[in-house]
Chain A
Amino acid sequence: MNENWALFKRNLFEFWKAFRRNKLGLLGGFLVLTAILAATFAPLLTPYAPTEVIRDVNGRGLTFAPPSVHAPLGTDDAGRDIWSQLIYGARVSLAVGFLAGFIAMFIGSLFGILAGYFGGRIDNLLMRVTDVLLVIPDLPLMLVLVATLRQMDLHVSPLVVLVFVIGLLYWTSTARLIRSQVLTIKERQYVARSRAIGAGHVHIIRKHILPQIMPLIVANTVLIISTAILIESGLAFLGLGDPTQPSWGAMLNFAFDRSAVTNGAWWFYLPPGFAIVWVTLGCVLLGNVLEDMLNPRLTAHHLESNQNMIAIQKREGE
């Protein structure tokens, strides 16, 4: 086990060495990481609870107050602190985004691997399902689904409904991507070699296919998370979120409902919008960079410096 750990450390170190040099990737990582940290340590970062109404000396709610020392980003129509709502909203937005992203990634990878590896009928069946999902317009479908599911008295939080609806609808592009990748890997000679050794399907998928597409899956997951966050915001903005646990989209919804725009209360609608951009931009940057970097290096030009290879050769020369 010891050398596995050493290997892992070496890989991680090399990854970090390469990642560190990539400015866009670093920026993306920073954006995502700050959002996650803010969500995790929300109580420490906020002066009020998100639902707490700030009152002035007379006990009246401080409605539509511009940013001040009491409320760093101002207050909403009921006198609640925007900053606190924003930080707590990160919890909802990120949780929905990550959970839905993981569900989509799991289904997409599973279908993609099964379809690509086994081909034939399984492939046909899975890909036709994918095609059907791909051609139905997402947004109307989701609106209908969420609305019907909420009327069905399922006794679950509306957020759970959102997570599943997004997760179960957004795996199609992943499945297609993974499938095409698996199709090419399947034809590689080392897979034939593995079969010739006598390895079974599970072994080949686990040892040869998965490690190859893992980077793709990771990068794709990050990208899907950003989509999921956007979709969640969209749905919440349309009033399909959980009103008791406002996410960024729900905040925007409130802002428009309570005519923040006509009141000139920019601090009400700009911050949540900005937060959404912050996280999705971070995810997209990070995802793209990860995809580039983790792509399996198959060829090394003979002029490229490769410290390890030189080391071996020196020893051989001795």
Chain B
Amino acid sequence: MTVQPLLSVRHLTTEFQLAGKQIARALEDVSFDVMPGKTIGLVGESGCGKTTTLMSIMRLLPASGRITSGNVYFNGIDLLTLSEHEMRAHRWKEMSIIFQGAMNALNPVMKIGDQIREAILLHNLMPRNAAEQRVGELLELVGIPRLRRDLYPHQYSGGMRQRAMIAMALACSPDLLFADEPTTALDVMIQAQVLELLKEIQKKLGLAIVLVTHDLGVVAEMCDDVVVMYGGKVAEYGSAELVYNQPQHPYTQRLLEAFPDLSRSIDSSTDLATIPGTPPRLNALPPGCRFSPRCHKSMEICTQIAPDLIAQNTAGNAQHLAACHLLNKLEIKNS
């Protein structure tokens, strides 16, 4: 018996129309699966296409963005074929999103409780007093005392606001929760609280979570699977344990080395690994592998041909794929 993925993204390609009729390919051939009740992390530096992926799946791209090809299956239905009206029914009811800046996502002149109730009433045909009941339940679920329902966003602290955002996202009991840098602006202790809350909620409600972040540590703590993105493409994809312990793509390797890790060593005399240069602008992508200009293992072929994702040999049914010519070569040698 195999479990069907809840969300299945296949060959998603998204383009942006820039000023002066330029076209930037923000996403190219992005594929991954989200299993029900599991957490998947999208990691990469800023501008690598993490948020664009979310927005493409939710079909909330800005006017200049367009999905040019690919499929997004949610419970077997291709979301990209739905009408805007049908899509709206899916959003929030079955998949909802929490954003990074909780302050900007909340209406400053509306009580927190009212905002959550509004989210419920917008989608559920529920009488007002039942909705009110639900607001209380949701607040308790995210660890906010019911009494705080009548406060305004500015009376909440940063962590509380993020909790309120989560409560709002859970209003219609979705199956899938997108979290776009949910803890980036928060202190470490609050970050830990919010992450812990997400884990608890996942356990209780059986949610699947797609976590977008640039923090490798957060992904390692939270995720079952990881998608490492670079320049709008998937560089490496697989179960978190494999990706972190046997990183195959030079980009993943370098990212992990650059991450200050207290468990590894405490030594201020050695420098951290760095990746020279900056991520490519999406309207000036290098030919071949997008990472090749910054890669310390770059070969001639890397600057000409873009590598495909290659499956790695793994024990059991764990998945692990990476897009690098180095792996290809080894495979040829082995065979």
Contact = CB atoms under 8 A, between A and B. Distances in A.
Given A302-B46, A305-B19, A305-B22, A310 B278 contact: no
A303 B277 contact: no
Interface stretch (B152-160, B212-220, B280-288): B280-288
Given A310-B284, A313-B278, A304 B18 contact: yes
A316 B22 contact: no
Given A310-B281, A313-B277, A313-B278, A305 B294 contact: no
Interface in B226-282: 276-278, 280-282
A123 B282 CA distance: 48
Contacts of B283: 303, 305
Chain A interface size band reads 10 to 19
Nearest to A306: B281
B278 A303 contact: no
Nearest to A317: B293
A57 interface: no
B281 A313 contact: yes
A306 to B, nearest CB: 8
A309 B281 contact: yes
Given A302-B46, A303-B18, A305-B18, 20 more contacts: A302-B47, A302-B281, A303-B16, A303-B26, A303-B64, A303-B282, A304-B18, A304-B19, A305-B20, A305-B22, A305-B281, A305-B283, A310-B284, A313-B277, A313-B280, A313-B281, A314-B284, A316-B277, A316-B278, A317-B294
Interface string B1-41: 00000000000000010111010101000000000000000
Contacts of A313: 277-278, 280-281, 284
Contacts of B286: 317
A302 B46 CA distance: 9
5 contacts: A302-B47, A305-B19, A305-B20, A313-B277, A317-B293
A305 B282 CA distance: 9
Interface string A104-132: 00000000000000000000000000000
Interface string B61-85: 0001000000000000000000000
Contacts, number: 36
Contacts of B19: 304-305
A307 to B, nearest CB: 10
A269 B278 CA distance: 66
Contacts of B22: 305
A297 to B, nearest CB: 14
A309 B284 CA distance: 11
Contacts of B277: 313, 316-317
Nearest to B19: A305
A110 B34 CA distance: 61
A-B pairs, top 6 by smallest CB distance, nearest first, are A317-B293, A302-B47, A310-B284, A316-B277, A303-B16, A305-B18
Interface in A246-260: none
Residue in A303, A310, A313 whose Cβ sees the most chain B Cβ within 10 Å: A303
Contacts of A302: 46-47, 281-282
Interface in A175-231: none
Contacts of B24: 303
Interface string A279-318: 0000000000000000000000011111001100110110
Contacts of B282: 302-303
Contacts of A303: 16, 18, 24, 26, 64, 282-283
B228 to A, nearest CB: 19
Nearest to B18: A305
Nearest to A310: B284
A302 B16 CA distance: 11
A293 to B, nearest CB: 15
A162 B59 CA distance: 61
Q: Which of B64, B284, B293, B294 has the most CB of A within 10 A?
A: B284
Most buried by A among B280, B283, B294: B283
A316 B281 CA distance: 13
A314 B19 CA distance: 21
A245 B6 CA distance: 83
Contacts of A310: 281, 284
Contacts of A305: 18-20, 22, 281, 283
Contacts of B18: 303-305
A62 to B, nearest CB: 58
A314 B283 CA distance: 13
B231 to A, nearest CB: 12
